[in-house]
């Protein structure tokens, strides 16, 4: 009874905090859990007129259809290539940038550099893709102008499927690296300054301090972010890929998200059940990857989600 009364008193004393917590909880419930009800149509021949409970159940028919479709291998290959490429190339860059910012002594230069690296994050996807198309334009783009000055023929980058993964990944890094490094800067700020002072007294260089103090200090945060990124492995960024996609580069740019959009909304025959089944398949794979990477981190005695 005494414990219950103390909990009630604590609740009354901090009710404002619980009200603030209510907003994100409602958001998660309404936009993350309630839509799971719609996943039922993955196992049906869904009809808008019959509704969810009135449509005919077909079991795993749509999943089997996707696995045996002609496009399955190419779509999975493109999705996995773009996802792993983005993670391998993009994961260490914010860490390196945060380490560099942490050792910059000139505050004016540091603030200017941070502003320039943060700014692209606030560009909309449409604006960002527009900038990419202008920069790589074969007629007036700055890249092809430089190529022509060197005496070579201009290259139509967006019409070549081989260039698409590189353009997609590195433009994404350019856009998000500055904003992504904020959390690492916060982690670096939490490292005990006495460790650096002792290292300086012992004659350690900046690189040695980065290796033996900074990197171990931010490793728990880095592992947690790696686990979370693994849970979004097959989410390649639908809007950006769709805007960059064209018939000439589609062999490298057709991924699960764009395929779902085209068969679920852009097709004359709207196949909601088939597209929902593909989306559910992607979510299950993401969940399994999250559990797998979290298990590896826990067994390696690193930070984990649980």
- Note the pLDDT of residue 127: 92
Which among 94, 99, 97, 87 is positioned nearest to 215, based on CA atoms? 99
- Note the pLDDT of residue 4: 57
pLDDT digits (tens, 9 = 90+) for 162-202: 999 999 999 999 998 988 888 898 888 888 889 888 998 88
Residue-by-residue DSSP string for 64-104: HHHHTSTTHHHHHHHHHHHHHHHHHHHSHHHHHHHHHHHT-
Q: What is the CA radius of gyration of the chain?
A: 25
| Greatest extent of the chain over all pairs of C-alpha atoms, in Å | 85
Query: Is the four-CA dihedral 83, 89, 92, 97 of positive or negative sign?
Result: negative
* CA–CA distance, 92 with 103 (Å, rounded to integer): 17
- Note the pLDDT of residue 105: 80
pTM for this one?
0.85
Contact of 196 with 210, CB cutoff 8 Å? no
- Note the pLDDT of residue 11: 74
* CA–CA distance, 7 with 11 (Å, rounded to integer): 6
Q: Would you tell me how many other CB atoms lie within 10 Å of the CB of residue 199?
A: 16
- Note the pLDDT of residue 227: 87
* CA–CA distance, 106 with 83 (Å, rounded to integer): 37
Helix (H, G, I), strand (E, B) or coil at 106: coil
Conformational region of residue 56, where left means phi above 0, alpha means psi within -120 to 50, and beta covers everything else:
beta
Looking at every residue in the chain, the average pLDDT score rounds to: 87
How many alpha carbons fall within 13 Å on the CB side of residue 262?
Answer: 13
45 phi/psi in degrees, rounded to 5:
-90, 85
Contact of 30 with 17, CB cutoff 8 Å? no
Which among 28, 67, 79, 63 is positioned nearest to 233, based on CA atoms? 79
For 77, the token pair is 């290959």
Residues of the chain with pLDDT under 70: 1-7
- Note the pLDDT of residue 20: 87
Contact of 107 with 115, CB cutoff 8 Å? no
- Note the pLDDT of residue 133: 92
């Amino acid at each position: 009874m005494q414990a219950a009364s103390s909990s009630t008193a604590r609740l009354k004393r901090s009710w404002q905090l619980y009200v603030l917590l209510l907003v994100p909880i409602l958001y998660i419930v309404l936009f993350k859990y309630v839509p799971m009800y719609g996943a039922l149509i993955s196992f049906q021949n869904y009809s808008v007129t019959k509704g969810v409970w009135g449509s005919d159940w077909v079991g795993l028919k749509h999943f089997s259809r996707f696995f045996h479709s002609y496009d399955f291998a190419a779509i999975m290959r493109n999705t996995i290539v773009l996802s792993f490429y983005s993670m391998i190339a993009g994961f260490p860059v914010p860490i390196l940038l945060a380490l560099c910012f942490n050792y910059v002594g000139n505050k004016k230069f540091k603030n200017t550099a941070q502003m320039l690296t943060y700014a692209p994050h606030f560009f909309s996807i449409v604006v960002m893709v527009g900038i990419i198309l202008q920069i790589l334009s074969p007629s007036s783009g700055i890249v092809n102008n430089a190529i022509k000055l060197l005496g070579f023929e201009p290259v139509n980058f967006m019409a070549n499927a081989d260039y698409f993964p590189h353009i997609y990944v590195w433009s994404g890094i350019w856009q998000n690296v500055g904003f992504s490094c904020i959390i690492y800067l916060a982690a670096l700020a939490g490292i005990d300054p006495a460790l650096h002072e002792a290292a300086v007294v012992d004659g350690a260089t900046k690189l040695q301090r980065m290796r033996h103090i900074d990197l171990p200090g931010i490793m728990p945060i880095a592992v947690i972010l790696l686990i979370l990124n693994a849970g979004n492995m097959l989410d390649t960024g639908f809007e950006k890929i769709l805007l960059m996609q064209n018939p000439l580069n589609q062999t490298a740019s057709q991924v699960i998200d764009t395929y779902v959009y085209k068969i679920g909304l852009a097709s004359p025959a709207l196949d909601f059940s088939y597209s929902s089944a593909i989306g559910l398949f992607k979510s299950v794979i993401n969940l399994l990857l999250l559990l797998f990477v979290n298990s590896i981190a826990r067994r390696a005695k690193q930070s984990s989600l649980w």
